[in-house]
Structure 1
Amino acid sequence: MFRIIFDKYENKWYSYVFYFITIFVLYTVIIITVSSENKEKSVRKLLVTNLANERDPIAELQMADFEKNILDDKKIKSILQNDYLNKADELYSYLLHYHFHGFWRKYDLQLTICKQNDSLLINETKKLESCNEYFNNYRNETGIQVVGTNFYFLDNINGRISYFADLKYVADSNKLYSIYIELDSKLQTEQLGYPELLIESKNNSSQKLDSYTYAKFRDNKLVYQFGNYSYNLALRYYGTFNNEFEFINKDEYNHLIYRVNDNNFIILSKPQYAVFNYIVFFSYLLVMYVFVYLLILVLKINKSNIIKSFNNLIFRIQIAYIGIVLLSLFIIGAGTVFYNIQQFEKKQLEKISEKAQSLLIEFDGKFANEKSIINQESYNLNYLLVKLSNVFYSDINLYSPDGKLIASSRNEIFDKGLLGNYIDANAYYELAINKKSEFIHNEKIGKLEFLSAYVPFFNNNGELLAYVNLPYFTKEYVVRNEISSLVITIVNIFVFLILITISLTFIVSNNITRPLRLIQKKMGEIELGKRNELINYNRKDEIGNLIIQYNRLVVELSESVDKLAKSERESAWREMAKQIAHEIKNPLTPMKLSIQLLMRSWNDKEENWEQRLNKVSKTLIEQIDSLSAIASEFSGFAQMPFSKKESINLIDKIDFAINTFSNYENITISSNNYGISKAIINADGEQILRVFNNLLKNAIQSIPPERNGKIIINVSKENQSFLIEIKDNGKGIPESMHDSLFQPNFTTKTSGMGLGLAIVKNIVEGIGGKVWFETEENIGTSFFIEFNELVIIGN
């Protein structure tokens, strides 16, 4: 999509920033993840420590009023004054029915009555102890007083929330009675949630635990659990723990095991972080950083170049593809969020409606034959509503036909003035005036908004007995978390799909335009005298037809080039033959003249015939040597690149060649091996020596007589190859001769076949090497030879 950016910066390092960004984002994800996990573990340690000392803030908030109601109850004094054995049982039943109802049903009640001199038989010691003294010691050892009350929180770590009360009564007979009350939270997997109306949010620490599951173990046995995870009944299922805090992974949960003491353990658990979440987090950061980087690059590019980029086919395909997919994803994502929010709200309405109808069935079974519910004792109605609220997991209120409160499962809401004693006006209008069979709407108390369902209840005669109200106190943060979790999940998937879309866009667009770019590349690489490759494309589409035409032209061009090359070779050999004939004629002419003169001298019986014979013989030998050299040079060129390959050391061959040419006056030849003692290659040693001899000979011949010659041979190693540089300070090579320098029969001298550099090229390329040169007129020339290193395994 941003090809113009890469075209702009193709010779710079900017494109590598994308790789750096990916690595940096991966590193960032790892660092943040590790840091977050460590922080979460620290928070979990704090929470599990608080769980070990868990208290009930709702209960403590009500204890002052609760204690006052008990102390002011004259019936209790009456029971204490009666002198019969079962007064404790009677008092227990009375307290349970008249005081420990509603909210307090979540606690188990134990009751002990002690007079001033009563004694207790202690089971552990089998000894009698003073009753008051025993409970006073018990209170002082484990109790923490609730401010403003005679209630004490018991820090006994038994897996339950425990409170202790010491209430004093003076009967009419001036006898002092002590009533010791013990409250222990009931052992069930999950109690009714605390209503947010009864406690300030800053004190509601239970919200912090909503994302966790926890359990309490005593003597290796499960005594309490809360949350979605089902704990094993035995602690040993999770292992043996000696440290105070230990983290383990089991059943796709991460568990923190807190060792309170040798007998008590608390496990605080949360689901393990899914791999998908890491991928989404990585996608977020990668998209953000790449977008910022591309934005910076775009701002640096000329506007004209940006406009030109819209003429680019790949760019237009990518923009169209990404635009369509992103628009589709946005519409689908927004629609999904909206639909799921509606479904969630609909589900809440259906849930409360089902509860209301089920509740009517319960009432029908109890009051269908009654003429009026108002005549029922309020205690019995309240007790019934509390039982039903525990079943339906919802508060229940009953209103009379004229809209006045009859009974409630949670009277404390009305006692504290948070709700009035009359039915909601809108509900009464819809039920009483509009005669609706059900009415559900949102009600609000302060900042707390909740659903409230109202249904009329009729007896068997069709007479209206009451209006049943279910205030659905779903915790606001639970609803908010559920909706936000849905939105976040969809957004996460959306971002992940964006990243995949962009990646697929590049892949798809590149696949679509790859044949076009390949044609463009191949057309740019077409050269005469070079084997041009055909494009392999199997699809029979428009691009396929274009490639067929391209391949046909390449084949025709190749055939034309072959014909041209053949013609050029034939022409070259003809020129070579002419050159050879010319070179051979040069020595033959003086040889013929010398022999003719020698024959004349013989015929004339000249006195200096022997002297002339010696002179002619010398001339003939020189010319024969010249012919032999010509024949050898041509034969050597014709036999290239046939050779006998073996392992040779380039350093030795270079040193030998330097010694061969070291006697030239005014010319210094040196080498620099840069610490390389062995440069082993696989080649014909004689041919490699001929390469260095030819290049040194050319270097010497290129140096003018009036100049002090300096030739340096540098040897270096790059990866798995050796680079040889033969540098001279000669007169250089004119630019007009650059293209013909390695061709046969090309020479800058007045004599010779011009095969020296052609032989060098044939030898070097015959063993897979490369040869090239760099030159500057009147400064000098450097010939470079690159050989592949011979790797000997085990050496």
Structure 2
Amino acid sequence: MTGMKNRFFTQTGSWLILVTLILSCALVLTQLFWKTEGAVFKNTQVNFLKQEKKAEVAAKGLLLEAIQGKGFNKNPDTTLIYHVYQKDSLVYWSSNKMPVRRLASLSFPTEGLVHLKNGWYYTCMAQDEDHVVAVSFLVKRRYSYQNEYLISHVSKAISPSFFLLTLDEQEGHAIKNRNGDYCFSISNSVFYGKTKSTTLVSIGFFICIFLFLSVLQLKINALKRAGLIVFFISVYMLSLSEALFSEIVAPQLFAYNAQVPNIISVFILFLGLGRLLVSKYLREVLINKTHPVLLCFLVVSLWWVVEQTVPFILENSSIPLGLDNLFELEPFSYLLIFVFVLLFLAYNSFFKAVFQGLIEGHGSRSISALFILCIVLVIIEIVFSDRFSLSIWLPLFLTLTGLFFFNKNAFRQRLLRSVFSTIFLSAALVSQITVIENKKDLETRKLLAKKVLSERDRELEIKYKALTKTLENTPFLLNTSRRKQENLTPSRFAYVLERKFFKGFWEGYECSFNYYDVNQKEIVLRENMSFFEWEGFIEEHGTASEICPNVFFISSSKNGFNYVIRQTVQTSSTGESVLFVGLKSKLIPEEIGFPRLLISNKAHSLDYLKKYSIAKYKDAKLFKSFGPYSYPIYLNSYAENTTSQKTYEGQSHYVLKGLQKNTVVLSKKQPEGLALFTPYAYIFCLMGVIRLLFLLFSQKTLENDKNAVSLAFKIQAILVSMVVLSLFLFGAGSGLFVKNQYANYNSRVINEKLQSVSEELKNKIAKMERFDIAKDGVFLEKTLNKLSRVFLTDINIYDSDGFLVSSSRQQIFNLGLLSEQINASAFENLRNREKRQFSQQENIGKLSYTSSYMPVYNKELKTLGYINLQHFGQQEDYESQIQGFLVAIINVFMFLLALSIILSLAISNWLTQPLQVLQDGLSKLRLGEPNKKIVYMANDEIGSIVRLYNEKIEELERAAEQLTRTERESAWREMAKQVAHEIKNPLTPMKLSVQHLLHSYDPEDAQGSLMKIKKVVNGVIEQIDGLARIANEFSNFARMPEPQKEKQDLVRLIKNTVAVFEGNQKYQLEFNTPFKEKMVSIDKDQLVQVLNNLIKNAIQSFQNRGHGRIRVLLENNTDGEGLQVSVEDDGCGIEPENESRLFIPRFTTKTTGSGIGLSLVKQIIENHGGKISFSSVPGEGSVFSFFLPD
């Protein structure tokens, strides 16, 4: 009854676990990612009021400080931005991220919601007669364009969720201030956590559930399979409905067809395939019920399916998977690699199990068939596939590995087999990924080269034709030509035109604006070319467009223009002004500063800037280049073909030659030296960790005693752990050292550039009294542009009050990425603390860079202002340094890890060899038999143990002899008692019968006496037969022969034995097994005797209860080693008080029989190296099970 209850609770608990997991999955995802608009609104309203209150309090405190005139305390809350105006002039600011002007205007400072160039702010004010204090906080960042660094987002202090901001009170939810006044509205139907982190959390959650269900060893396999099926179907349907995810189901990430529309559906399909491959049930069915040749074909075919998963995903997705560059990978890349690794490991597990089944059940012929099919697969892939990789050799390598390590079950052999298989799997996966990524990379370079080579952009000509009429009549150009625009610098002029007209599509070009009046005199000059020089340039190099005659295509020129636009503006009845616009494609941007920050995603040039170096040749001479590779001046170094790909100076170059002797070269650095092995190191480490985790949490490991870990394994684990820990600490320390060294080097470089720029400016500004933007703005802008090209960095100049005077990269300020005020912390250190130089890390959006400042003086040593260098390239250089460092560390790590494994095997073998000898000696120790002494010559602790062992062997032999003698005497005494008892029982009735005959015999009554004699004689004969039977049984028990083992089909033997007992209406007898045949080494006659005894006992258990049921079961042992035969019945069961005496000779609970049957069964099973056990519930039945080794 207790067993039935346990089974019931096991089933119930398993179902509860499954239901709880599914409900928890739905609940967690709902709470994490499904946020209603109402919930977001309430959260936003509360946070907005908190920020408003803080801003009001800060404004009042700041006003008090301004009135007292003792200076301003540092802003402790970075979410608040301070501005203090005195007499309408800005005198204090806490941040230069809010683009406001130095003079108060109608747009700022103002109370309430403020829309500036880089976003929406809310401002609280406090003022008196002389001061106006504005404390603002960001509501939503919104840039005029976006790229990887500039991303519009909502302030985290307002809401963690993204929303749309509108000023229409009737739309969405209205956000109000503390006075109840309307500020703005937020709207959207459903809010999702759209960041990659939340997406990865959700995917990771699903994968954890999957792994838990896979590792969870439920006793009811059908329930486990049902749970996994429900899980896969649920997640697959969710992925199709797009109910939980937004970013990850986008077709830009992955798309194939309606059934596999996104990456989630791919994960589900491939995780399901992996789960099938590791299914124990599927393996047993395939191994036992499939023809060996067909099974070999299935193994090879499944590898082809698994192998094709890599190109299937990579060719239909935009997820980067270049393992040679860590910083190019995205979060989805790591997730995809993890899925690939799981799938390859699942196949390896499937292959190992099938290989074991083939070689044990079908012998060498099946392995030969598998070997031949593996070679056929290799030949087919080489002949017909255009993606040759090492992965096609994997089944062949695994077959050879399996043959080499067959029947080698020692720990060291199993460890080596795991290491070799992991190496082969890593090589196969990396080879697949590398081949596909190289192919995709080549296609990308081909398309990009064609785009760069095809300089003529018809779309540009069409778009400008639509823009011509607008430019002809724009008031801005008319007023500028009439000299009505004051303080108009070239950068300011360019900003207005770009903001109003040249935006969107035009962001893919760098525009240079030059404007001349009716007398051909310059109004705005950017390129230092006169009107007539422009005319000559167009005449010499330009080709008029057939679409728009104002547009001239420039086939070749030294200044790099792709197009020149000549736009006339009718300014009077007698003349017209002319606007020349030079256009340079940003496909090959300039090296100065950091142009990526100013390139919109719409320009589509950011994707390749990180990956490639690019060069353009005209007439076989270098015209323009970008990237770290130093291209030769002449093209002779490359192939002469129209298109070619070659490796030269450690770079892979793709060369495309076009018409007019133009050539484009796209280059990518090739991994060299140890870097070639880095991808293999990554995958090898990941596979090793996953295999170790599955080993630690597998059912077999969990069921074994935790203390049963071998000493050799402990030694190896300690050695490997020491290496890993040492290398980790070394890597961390070296990483910090590299970081500090690079920071110091970068600081020196910036300081040198800063000193050089200061020296260059010294003579030009020596006679100035102060910086005047109206007077000196144009001069300083030209000077800074020239210095910027020399030092390859952007330069800003601020006046002594901290306001921008000029910049070589005016777009940063025009676009509102920074305000025209100097950084507040730098201003504090330079002016108030009078530092000679100041450097710090600053950021624009997600771009971090080093910014250095230095005061500049005139000849009277009066501070004119401050120069600022922005070293934008630091982040990329730093990533490159760290990547190179990681490559070296990981390769050293892999080398030391492999070396530590080999050394740990050797050292552990050396240390444990004496213990192994001692273990072998102890394992061979037999009582009553001669035992060999251990020969060990070393005089150490092991030697002392060996000497004591040898001494105890002698004592044990003497004790064994005495014990044997005692046991033999005791056994004979007990046997004599048993025999005497058994003989005495029939002798008593025989004596009484004879005595009765003597008293009742009457010679005179011959007829009656004869009948009495016959009756007595018959009874005596029966008793004598009983005595003979008892003597024979004791004789057989005493001389049980050793089993004569031969290879027998156990399945057939059991079937034949069961058939003898079938056909009886009083009971139902059945035999179940998953095997078609199972060859084992046994004594056939003795095992038949065992089965006969157990089945007879089962039949007798329900003779008094009517009809019964008996089930004989043959299966693998639960620990995976050996076989188990069980005989189950639903009879009367065994009383608990009888269980301990069940196998004692002559013990029986029946009225018939000698009680020796189960004793004989136990003796036979133990002579076969097995053991027998039983379980029983009184009144419900019994189960007798015996275990046999393979």
TM-score (norm 1): 0.52
Asked if 2 retains the 8 angstrom alpha-carbon contact of 1:215 and 1:225, the reply is: yes
Asked if 2 retains the 8 angstrom alpha-carbon contact of 1:159 and 1:217, the reply is: no
Deviation at 1:256, TM superposition (A): 0.8
After superposition, the C-alpha distances for 1:690-737 in whole angstroms (9 at most, x for unaligned) are: xxxxxxxxxxxxxxxxxxxxxxxxxxxxxxxxxxxxxxxxxxxxxxxx
1:371 to 758, 762, 769: 769
Question: Does residue 1:48 correspond to 2:453, yes or no?
Answer: no
Distance of 2:859 and 2:578 partners within structure 1: 50
The aligned amino acid for 1:389 is: S
Distance of 1:144 and 1:192 partners within structure 2: 32
Deviation at 1:268, TM superposition (A): 0.9
Question: Does residue 1:31 correspond to 2:31, yes or no?
Answer: no
Deviation at 1:241, TM superposition (A): 0.6
Question: Does residue 1:345 correspond to 2:752, yes or no?
Answer: no
After superposition, the C-alpha distances for 1:117-160 in whole angstroms (9 at most, x for unaligned) are: xxx9988xxxxxxxxxx97xx2225x889xxxx66665779994
Q: For residues 402-551 of structure 1, what are the structure 2 equivalents within 5 Å?
A: 402-474=801-873, 479-480=878-879, 482-483=881-882, 486-487=885-886, 490-491=889-890, 493-495=892-894, 497-514=896-913, 517=916
Distance of 1:412 and 1:513 partners within structure 2: 72
**Helix, strand or coil at the partner of 1:396:** strand
Moved more, 222-231 or 35-44: 222-231
Question: Does residue 1:232 correspond to 2:632, yes or no?
Answer: yes
Moved more, 474-483 or 344-353: 474-483
Distance of 1:395 and 1:329 partners within structure 2: 41
RMSD across aligned C-alpha pairs, in angstroms?
5.4
Question: Does residue 1:322 correspond to 2:720, yes or no?
Answer: yes
2:760 maps to what in 1?
362
Asked if 1 retains the 8 angstrom alpha-carbon contact of 2:850 and 2:874, the reply is: no
Asked if 2 retains the 8 angstrom alpha-carbon contact of 1:155 and 1:162, the reply is: yes
2:295 maps to what in 1?
none
Distance of 2:788 and 2:636 partners within structure 1: 37
Residues 100/470 of structure 1: CA separation in 2 closer, same or farther (3 Å cut) = same
Residues 507/220 of structure 1: CA separation in 2 closer, same or farther (3 Å cut) = farther
The aligned amino acid for 1:74 is: S
Distance of 1:431 and 1:264 partners within structure 2: 51
The aligned amino acid for 2:819 is: G
1:386 to 772, 778, 785: 785
Distance of 2:421 and 2:781 partners within structure 1: 69
Moved more, 502-511 or 160-169: 502-511
The aligned amino acid for 2:781 is: N
1:280 maps to what in 2?
678
Residues 161/98 of structure 1: CA separation in 2 closer, same or farther (3 Å cut) = same
The aligned amino acid for 1:368 is: A
Deviation at 1:162, TM superposition (A): 1.2
Asked if 1 retains the 8 angstrom alpha-carbon contact of 2:589 and 2:595, the reply is: no
1:332 to 710, 718, 730: 730
2:423 maps to what in 1?
22
Asked if 1 retains the 8 angstrom alpha-carbon contact of 2:675 and 2:888, the reply is: no
The aligned amino acid for 2:670 is: Q
Distance of 2:481 and 2:693 partners within structure 1: 81
Unaligned residue ranges in structure 1 (runs of 5+): 78-88, 115-119, 124-133, 554-795
Question: Does residue 1:99 correspond to 2:524, yes or no?
Answer: yes
Deviation at 1:24, TM superposition (A): 3.0
The aligned amino acid for 1:343 is: Q
Distance of 1:287 and 1:412 partners within structure 2: 47
**Helix, strand or coil at the partner of 1:230:** coil
**Helix, strand or coil at the partner of 1:506:** helix
1:140 to 533, 545, 569: 545
**Helix, strand or coil at the partner of 2:801:** coil
The aligned amino acid for 1:253 is: Q
**Helix, strand or coil at the partner of 1:222:** strand
2:797 maps to what in 1?
398
2:621 to 196, 205, 221: 221
Distance of 1:109 and 1:493 partners within structure 2: 63
Asked if 2 retains the 8 angstrom alpha-carbon contact of 1:139 and 1:164, the reply is: no
Question: Does residue 1:257 correspond to 2:655, yes or no?
Answer: yes
Distance of 2:620 and 2:845 partners within structure 1: 46
Distance of 1:55 and 1:501 partners within structure 2: 60
2:711 maps to what in 1?
313
Deviation at 1:369, TM superposition (A): 4.6
2:339 maps to what in 1?
none
The aligned amino acid for 1:288 is: L
The aligned amino acid for 1:327 is: L
After superposition, the C-alpha distances for 1:77-119 in whole angstroms (9 at most, x for unaligned) are: 9xxxxxxxxxxx9969x99986343xx68x99984559xxxxx
Asked if 1 retains the 8 angstrom alpha-carbon contact of 2:678 and 2:890, the reply is: no
1:563 maps to what in 2?
none
Deviation at 1:466, TM superposition (A): 1.6
After superposition, the C-alpha distances for 1:428-450 in whole angstroms (9 at most, x for unaligned) are: 22222222222223444444444
Unaligned residue ranges in structure 2 (runs of 5+): 1-404, 485-513, 952-1190
Deviation at 1:308, TM superposition (A): 4.3
Deviation at 1:383, TM superposition (A): 1.4
After superposition, the C-alpha distances for 1:596-616 in whole angstroms (9 at most, x for unaligned) are: xxxxxxxxxxxxxxxxxxxxx
> How many aligned residue pairs are there?
503
Residues 355/108 of structure 1: CA separation in 2 closer, same or farther (3 Å cut) = farther
TM-score (norm 2): 0.36
The aligned amino acid for 1:140 is: S
Residues 303/338 of structure 1: CA separation in 2 closer, same or farther (3 Å cut) = same
2:592 maps to what in 1?
192
After superposition, the C-alpha distances for 1:213-249 in whole angstroms (9 at most, x for unaligned) are: 222223333333332333333333222214x4x2212
After superposition, the C-alpha distances for 1:574-606 in whole angstroms (9 at most, x for unaligned) are: xxxxxxxxxxxxxxxxxxxxxxxxxxxxxxxxx
Distance of 1:197 and 1:295 partners within structure 2: 44
Asked if 2 retains the 8 angstrom alpha-carbon contact of 1:109 and 1:182, the reply is: no
The aligned amino acid for 1:451 is: T
Higher-Rg structure is: 1
Residues 468/303 of structure 1: CA separation in 2 closer, same or farther (3 Å cut) = closer
Residues 429/284 of structure 1: CA separation in 2 closer, same or farther (3 Å cut) = closer
Deviation at 1:471, TM superposition (A): 3.1
Asked if 2 retains the 8 angstrom alpha-carbon contact of 1:395 and 1:409, the reply is: yes
Deviation at 1:165, TM superposition (A): 0.7
The aligned amino acid for 2:820 is: N
Asked if 1 retains the 8 angstrom alpha-carbon contact of 2:856 and 2:864, the reply is: yes
Deviation at 1:252, TM superposition (A): 2.0
Distance of 2:530 and 2:897 partners within structure 1: 56
Distance of 1:9 and 1:473 partners within structure 2: 59
**Helix, strand or coil at the partner of 1:301:** helix
Asked if 1 retains the 8 angstrom alpha-carbon contact of 2:617 and 2:664, the reply is: yes
Distance of 1:401 and 1:240 partners within structure 2: 59
1:618 maps to what in 2?
none
